[in-house]
């Protein structure tokens, strides 16, 4: 699918220029998918099931994440019919549906925990990660835009929900529950120290930092401004400050109707926003471009709950073309699905999305 002879920039050059609101040879492209449709795509391209790089190259993806893998001991026992995180101890169960399945968080081991139990819950040490592999990874992917983090970095509400359940976590925020807030502060502190160590090793080789927070329902903010200021953005600001030390732009993953928060994030150093579910209130490409264009770059906007899942190939092509026509002028847009592409998305629709991105996402004809 990717026509290298037609491209005049490296992936790194393309993404960096886009983040600086410059028009390039084509829009940068990103990818994420659930296991079922990911395997179908790999089979279509004749790739091995574990060939993560191969599928990204086939689709023309311009970014690669740089992580320090966990190498410490298993801190939490295995449980039958559950996946248990070796590092953190949260649990997931397999949920089947008509087109595949997924691992969903369950059991919530700290849902009713008091302060002492949270304090004693085993969590990884920042020493338990393989920082020695980072330079090699950066060299391997040097022509791509390299990022540190992902939507889970500095993500307070979602991550605390993995331990406490979402209902209890929102009660924690509303009532300033000391056990719930201790949980947040413990895992955020570990994330921060791990991030700092990665940057100390390879910060000069990275291109941006990716943070996350789910901030909206489809129609409204998920929390009020008072809680947002008191418990969310105040805890995330140190990550923005750390990125600034290394001159790294910050992109924030924001699910649902989240644009209500962008002005506050811009004040502390936000450069770009991710996900951008177009069906949510004040998240359409037109609204975002008119309101924040030139101040924030955009990553997302191709809905995994829209044409790619429920429409025809022609519907997918139209959605991609319409989005590009709004978002491309003046640079600042990277095409990506709004979430992991779901298993109910027909293969031909997913292929059409990426083919349309390459065909219509070009500035230089």
In this structure, the number of other CB atoms found within 10 A of the CB of residue 219 comes to: 11
The mean pLDDT of 240-251, rounded to a whole number, is 98
User: Is 330 among the domain residues?
Assistant: yes
In this structure, the number of other CB atoms found within 10 A of the CB of residue 193 comes to: 14
Best CA proximity match to 213, nearest among 171, 269, 274: 274
Helix (H), strand (E), coil (C) string for 284-297:
CHHHHHHHHECCEE
- Cβ burial of 245 (10 Å; 0-12, 13-18, 19+) is exposed
The mean pLDDT of 45-54, rounded to a whole number, is 97
Say which CATH number the domain at 127 has: 3.20.20.210
The pair of structure tokens assigned to 189 is: 């502190």
Distance CA 236, CA 239 (A): 6
Best CA proximity match to 199, nearest among 152, 153, 149: 149
User: Is 25 among the domain residues?
Assistant: yes
What is the end-to-end Cα distance of the chain in Å, rounded? 18
User: Is 133 among the domain residues?
Assistant: yes
The whole-number pLDDT of residue 365 equals: 58
Longest Cα–Cα distance in the chain: 63
Q: What is the DSSP letter of 102?
A: E
The mean pLDDT of 8-13, rounded to a whole number, is 96
**Residue 23: pLDDT band by 50, 70, 90 thresholds?**
very high
Q: Is the pLDDT of residue 5 over 60?
A: no
| DSSP letter string, 256-294 | SS-GGGHHHHHHTT--EEEE--TTSTT-SHHHHHHHHBT
User: Is 100 among the domain residues?
Assistant: no
Q: What is the number of structural domains in the chain?
A: 1
Best CA proximity match to 266, nearest among 277, 247, 252, 284: 252
Range of the domain at 238: 4-73+113-360
CA separation, residue 90 to residues 108, 196, 251 (Å): 7, 24, 26
The residue written with tokens 């819950």 in the block is 121
User: Torsions phi, psi of 215, nearest 5?
Assistant: -115, -10
Q: Is the pLDDT of residue 3 over 80?
A: no
The whole-number pLDDT of residue 106 equals: 98
Best CA proximity match to 155, nearest among 130, 192, 126, 120: 192
User: Is 105 among the domain residues?
Assistant: no
Q: Is the pLDDT of residue 327 over 60?
A: yes
User: Is 290 among the domain residues?
Assistant: yes
The mean pLDDT of 130-146, rounded to a whole number, is 98
Best CA proximity match to 323, nearest among 337, 313, 343: 337
User: Is 78 among the domain residues?
Assistant: no
Per-residue pLDDT reduced to its tens digit, 278-316: 999 999 999 999 999 999 999 999 999 999 999 999 999
User: Is 103 among the domain residues?
Assistant: no
Distance CA 218, CA 214 (A): 11
**Residue 7: pLDDT band by 50, 70, 90 thresholds?**
confident
Distance CA 160, CA 88 (A): 11
């Amino acid at each position: 699918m990717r026509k290298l002879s037609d491209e005049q920039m490296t992936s790194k050059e393309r993404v960096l220029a886009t983040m600086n609101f410059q028009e390039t040879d084509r829009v940068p492209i990103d990818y994420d998918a659930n296991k079922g449709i990911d395997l179908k795509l790999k089979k279509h391209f004749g790739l091995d099931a574990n060939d993560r790089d191969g599928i990204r190259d086939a689709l023309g993806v311009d970014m690669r994440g740089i992580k320090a893998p966990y190498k410490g001991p298993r801190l939490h026992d295995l449980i039958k019919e559950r996946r248990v995180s070796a590092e953190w101890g949260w649990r997931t169960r397999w949920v089947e549906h008509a087109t595949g399945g997924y691992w969903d968080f369950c059991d919530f081991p700290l849902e009713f925990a008091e302060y002492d139990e949270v304090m004693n819950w085993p969590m990884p040490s920042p020493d338990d990660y393989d920082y020695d592999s980072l330079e090699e990874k950066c060299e391997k992917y040097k022509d791509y835009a390299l990022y540190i983090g992902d939507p889970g970095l500095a993500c307070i509400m979602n991550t605390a929900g993995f331990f406490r359940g979402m209902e209890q976590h929102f009660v924690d925020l509303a009532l300033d529950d000391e056990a719930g807030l201790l949980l947040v502060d413990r895992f955020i502190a570990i994330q921060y120290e791990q991030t700092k160590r990665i940057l100390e090793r390879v910060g000069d080789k990275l291109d941006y930092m990716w943070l996350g927070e789910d901030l909206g329902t489809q129609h409204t903010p998920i929390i009020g401004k008072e809680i947002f200021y008191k418990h969310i953005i105040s805890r995330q600001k140190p990550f923005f400050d750390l990125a600034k030390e290394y001159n790294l732009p910050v992109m924030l993953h924001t699910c649902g109707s989240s644009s209500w928060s962008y002005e506050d994030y811009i004040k502390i150093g936000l450069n770009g926003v991710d996900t951008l579910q177009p069906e949510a209130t004040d998240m359409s490409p037109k609204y975002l471009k008119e309101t924040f264009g030139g101040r924030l770059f955009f990553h997302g906007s191709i809905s995994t709950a829209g044409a790619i899942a429920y429409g025809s190939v022609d519907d997918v092509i139209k959605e991609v073309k319409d989005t590009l026509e709004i978002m491309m002028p003046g640079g600042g847009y990277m095409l990506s699905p709004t979430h992991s592409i779901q298993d109910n998305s027909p293969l031909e629709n997913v292929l059409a999305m990426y083919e349309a991105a390459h065909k219509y996402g070009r500035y230089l004809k």
